[in-house]
Amino acid sequence: MLDGILIGLSTAMMPTNLMMVMVGCFIGTFIGMLPGLGPISAIALMIPVTYGLDPSSGMILMAGVYYGAIFGGSTSSILINAPGCSSTVVTAFDGYPLAQKGQAGKALALAAYSSFTGGTLSAIMLLVAAPALAKVSLSFQSSDYFALMLVGLSAVAAFAGKGQVLKAWMMTILGLMLATVGIDKGIGVERFTFGLTDLMDGFSFLLLAMATFALGETLMGILKPEKDTAGAENSALSEIGSMKISKEEIKEVAPVALRSSILGFFIGVLPGAGATIAAFLSYGLERNLAPKDKKEEFGKGSLRGLVAPESANNAASSGSFVPLLTLGIPGSGTTAIMLGALISYGIQPGPRLFVDNPEIFWSVIISMYVGNVVLIILNLPLIPYISKLLAVPRTVLLPMIIFFSITGVYLVSFNTIDVFIMIAIAMVAILLRLANFPLAPLLLGFILGGLMEENLRRSLMISDGELSFILERPITLTFTIISVLVLVAPVLLTILNRYRVKKAKLVEKVG
């Protein structure tokens, strides 16, 4: 392990990679501060840039963008109550009231220090957990992988928002369907190409990610114009107040940061859960644990209420790298995009990554820590200047983002057909958004589709076409049971809730 850490350190500390972390954090913070554009879009926009880099630098850049985007999202949550992404919604609960009390500087500093604590603790936990899990998963066979992918896909659907479970499943299936377009890698026959040579290679992952997120979100911004927040953010920043935090305050929030980081990390590790759920859960936990007088402060500018979600969402972001790096299963939409990028580099994520490409494995982990340091040393003092960039009016910003999305895809294939396919997919993505279908499961299904089919094929071939392979290996069986439970649990809960409501109504009537 020490060898690996040293390899990671030497790769992450290379001047080019240090620059990648800084640039990534800076760009991520900027994009994260734009309401409506989250980490997924920020990373999608970066993919074409990373194609020109070596895989380690590319992954380091994307990890930096991920952190930066979450940090940027917190900034806009605190200053103007406009979360840049869903994982920073909870930050606004207490961050914004603090800013209204004239303590925006303190809130920003606390958010940065909490993020740093969350990031640091989770990087340490990742350092221990990832290699251990990678070693265990080296014994995995095709059937185990197939079952594991089922867990990943079902979990993502299960963690979808209220009333969206069924829709998330449908989007996963649509993603899997899209993954079957093109020449079948196992047998070599064309599937769903309609005789078009442009479809023989299947849909490009980059095109799909750009169309559904970067382009889709920007076009949603045009369809449903939001208030231009650049002015509000600038004026809020002109009077942020002191960034100093007293010793008593540190004493009060330190245990909160510690608890939330640990909770956040473990939630991040679960496939499908992620920063948003981690932030909500830690906020709820801290509110319950707080003494009575402190409990009343929640929602009115509580320091604990700000520190808890900030530590948890950063720790969860790092945690979501565990299944990605060790099992090749993305834990969230953002890591799904990173998985796609790794596959595009010709690298097979999974347990072998730890053995075959230790420099990528370790440098990503080390760079996470570097990213946290960069955020606290560079981005925190630079926040007023970064937000100046937001003074660029939306009238200029939106066409620029569309241009970067289209050019990003065009410069990889130099084929204008891709531009037209991208526009068509973006239109479908808008309709799906309007019908409240989550799009992250679609991307996840698409990315995992090829791998899942390959492993199912191998498993069935080995077991001579018998589905008994599910029962033969304990790991496969365990994963299959987990995925069935994850699939059935939301339906059972819904039925149970309906039964409870009916029962309560009956009791009311009788009463």
Which residues in this chain contact other proteins in the complex, by CB under 8 A? Answer: 52, 161-164, 166-167, 169-170, 173-174, 176-177, 180, 184, 186-187, 189-192, 219, 222-225, 393-396, 398-400, 402-403, 406-407, 410-411, 414, 416, 419-420, 423, 427, 430, 433-437, 452-453, 456-457, 460-461, 463-465
Nearer to other proteins, 138 or 491 (CB): 491
CB 420, min distance to other proteins, A: 5
Q: How is residue 464 annotated by DSSP?
A: T
**Shortest CA distance to 328 belongs to which of 265, 271, 274?**
271
Nearer to other proteins, 171 or 237 (CB): 171
**Shortest CA distance to 316 belongs to which of 280, 359, 360?**
280
* Interior angle at CA 381, CA 380 and CA 382, nearest 5: 90
Whole-angstrom distance, CA of residue 351 vs CA of residue 329: 10
> The dihedral of CA 390, 393, 398, 399: what is its sign?
negative
CB 84, min distance to other proteins, A: 16
Whole-angstrom distance, CA of residue 380 vs CA of residue 113: 10
- Residue 144: both structure tokens together: 């185990």
Whole-angstrom distance, CA of residue 302 vs CA of residue 289: 13
CB 224, min distance to other proteins, A: 5
Nearer to other proteins, 52 or 291 (CB): 52
Nearer to other proteins, 228 or 249 (CB): 228
CB 270, min distance to other proteins, A: 22
CB 26, min distance to other proteins, A: 18
CB 63, min distance to other proteins, A: 23
CB 126, min distance to other proteins, A: 32
Helix (H, G, I), strand (E, B) or coil at 340: helix
Whole-angstrom distance, CA of residue 174 vs CA of residue 441: 9
Helix (H, G, I), strand (E, B) or coil at 456: helix
Nearer to other proteins, 396 or 510 (CB): 396
Nearer to other proteins, 184 or 249 (CB): 184
Give the C-alpha distances (Å, rounded to integers) separating 290 from 74, 75, 92, 277, 298: 23, 25, 19, 20, 9
The residues with which 75 forms a beta bridge, in sequence order, are none
CB 393, min distance to other proteins, A: 7
Whole-angstrom distance, CA of residue 378 vs CA of residue 375: 6
CB 419, min distance to other proteins, A: 4
Nearer to other proteins, 171 or 370 (CB): 171
Nearer to other proteins, 352 or 458 (CB): 458
Q: Which residues of 109-127 are buried (b: 16+ CB within 10 A; e: fewer)?
A: bbbbbbbbbbbbbbbebbb
Compute φ and ψ for 242, nearest 5 degrees. -75, 150
* 13: enclosing H helix or E strand: none
Nearer to other proteins, 190 or 359 (CB): 190
Identity of residue 420: F
**Shortest CA distance to 255 belongs to which of 314, 319, 301, 307?**
307
Nearer to other proteins, 113 or 437 (CB): 437
CB 69, min distance to other proteins, A: 19
